[in-house]
Amino acid sequence: MLYSHDTFGLGHLRRSRALAEAITASDPSASALILTGSPVAGRFAFPTRVDHVRLPGVIKRSDGSYASRTLGMGIEETTELRANLILSTVETYAPDILIVDKEPCGFRGELLPTLERLKSDGSAKLVLGLRDVLDEATVLAAEWARKGALDATERFYDEIWVYGPRSVYDPTAGLPLSSETQARMHWTGYLRRDLGDVGTPPQQPYVLITPGGGGDGATMVDLVLSAYEQDPDLSPRAVLVYGPFLSGETREEFETRVARLDGRVTAVGFESQIETLFAGAQGVVAMGGYNTFCEVLSFDKPALIVPRVKPRLEQWIRASRAEELGLVTMLDTKRDGLTPTSMIRAIRALAQQQPPSAADQHAELLNGLDYVTGRVDTLLARTAPKAAE
């Protein structure tokens, strides 16, 4: 079983889906159930022997507080409902392993009753999965202390998997983890995206523009459209995927601007098989989310990353470190300025940019799914123990 709280964006669900697919593909007797709060979970195709349970959705308000997405219940009632659904599903499904994405306690502590139950009866191995970058160290330490996440990590989890190489970044730097907990950590490498049958891409050449889920991607989309509006000779054409969370008046305004560009930019709202678009792209312009970065590496595409810097520095940290390693280029607010001129220059430069495979470390970065399936075997005592990295 995989848990992803999914209050915003697509990252947690897509990561859990990739893990579930790899685990079940490596073991024909295995099944996987994903617990997710994502409102768009039903728009994804799930592999054979993988399914999902949709938890009642929540939204984050501009002041940082949370509210029920649709039920009209108070946030405390919604959290209690979600916690009870998680516990009852775990009791019925009886997983051998529970893999928790990013939040050791779950959303507002909703996972704690389940963790207590599973730890006390020893019926399942408990794994905390962390992306390669969480936030800057001081901010993360304060957040984990406030949420009780440090104590939960120490008490409950048999292993901690970091979905990236230690040589790139340590997301737990600055957290006062005990030596015993640190010994239970494994750096898996990045999670390679499926490179099998990806379908027929659109007419080539094109640059893929993707702000991930799109909820915070309006600035980047506006910048790209402005670049094509100001430079009528800018090429190649752009294929823009808004993401399911970029909607309303902002989306309508972008659609009007796209129409005026007369085919030089084409756009879709959501693409569940975005791998097809990655495979055919000459280059990629994207925000710096974890899943998009894995796709850039997996499909070996020259990429320009335009990272957000609020509410977390996660994307900026990932992009700046990747640029240092020669994997991508970055358009940085302070260094480059986010202007149509800087975007025009950057898109033009993509044609001459080296793909990630030109960097020394590329080949060793993408072993994450193989490492995870190996850890599953080890936790279920099907193979000899593998030493932590």
What is the DSSP secondary structure assignment for residue 214, as one 8-state letter?
Answer: -
Q: Worst-scoring range by mean pLDDT, 20-29, 157-166, 326-335?
A: 326-335
pLDDT at 11: 67
> Residue 56, preceding bond cis, omega within 30 degrees?
no
Mean pLDDT of 50-58: 92
pLDDT at 10: 65
Mean pLDDT of 23-51: 89
Residue 388 has pLDDT above 50, yes or no: no
Answer yes or no: do 40 and 187 share one domain.
yes
Domain that holds residue 30: 2-192+367-379
Answer yes or no: do 183 and 304 share one domain.
no
Answer yes or no: do 172 and 314 share one domain.
no
Has residue 349 been placed in a domain?
yes
Number of Cβ atoms within 10 Å of the Cβ of 377 = 16
Mean pLDDT of 154-169: 95
Answer yes or no: do 240 and 183 share one domain.
no
User: pLDDT: is 8 or 91 the higher one?
Assistant: 91
Answer yes or no: do 217 and 316 share one domain.
yes
pLDDT at 239: 96
Confidence band, pLDDT 50/70/90 cuts, at residue 248 = confident
pLDDT at 304: 97
Q: What is the mean pLDDT of the chain?
A: 90
Q: Worst-scoring range by mean pLDDT, 81-85, 204-208, 274-278, 305-309?
A: 274-278
Answer yes or no: do 354 and 235 share one domain.
yes
In terms of pTM, does the model score above 0.85? yes
Residue 64 CB contacts under 8 Å (≥ 6 apart), including other chains: none
pLDDT at 234: 96
Question: What percent of the chain has pLDDT above 70?
Answer: 93
pLDDT at 249: 87
Has residue 72 been placed in a domain?
yes
pLDDT at 60: 74
Has residue 385 been placed in a domain?
no
Answer yes or no: do 257 and 341 share one domain.
yes
Has residue 188 been placed in a domain?
yes
Counting DSSP H helices and E strands in the chain, the numbers are: 14, 15
Counting other chains too, the contacts that 322-326 makes at CB distance below 8 Å and 24 or more residues apart are 322/168, 322/293, 325/168, 325/359, 325/361, 326/354, 326/358, 326/359, 326/360
pLDDT at 382: 59
Has residue 40 been placed in a domain?
yes
Has residue 199 been placed in a domain?
no
Answer yes or no: do 26 and 80 share one domain.
yes
What is the rounded distance in angstroms from the CA atom of residue 131 to the CA atom of residue 293? 11
User: pLDDT: is 196 or 295 the higher one?
Assistant: 295
User: pLDDT: is 195 or 119 the higher one?
Assistant: 119
Answer yes or no: do 53 and 179 share one domain.
yes
pLDDT at 272: 64
Mean pLDDT of 343-348: 95
Has residue 101 been placed in a domain?
yes
pLDDT at 87: 97
Mean pLDDT of 31-53: 88
User: pLDDT: is 350 or 38 the higher one?
Assistant: 350
Residue 72 has pLDDT above 60, yes or no: yes
Query: In the chain, how many domains are there?
Result: 2
pLDDT, tens only, 100-117: 999 999 999 999 999 999
Answer yes or no: do 218 and 336 share one domain.
yes
Answer yes or no: do 107 and 181 share one domain.
yes
Has residue 29 been placed in a domain?
yes
Residue 17 CA, chain-centre distance (Å), reads 11
User: pLDDT: is 359 or 254 the higher one?
Assistant: 254
Residue 8 has pLDDT above 70, yes or no: no
Residue 7 has pLDDT above 80, yes or no: no
Confidence band, pLDDT 50/70/90 cuts, at residue 383 = very low
pLDDT at 336: 80
pLDDT, tens only, 124-148: 999 999 999 999 999 999 999 999 9
CATH number at residue 291: 3.40.50.2000
What is the rounded distance in angstroms from the CA atom of residue 235 to the CA atom of residue 243? 23
pLDDT, tens only, 193-236: 876 677 788 889 999 999 877 677 889 999 999 999 999 999 99
Answer yes or no: do 78 and 166 share one domain.
yes
pLDDT at 152: 97
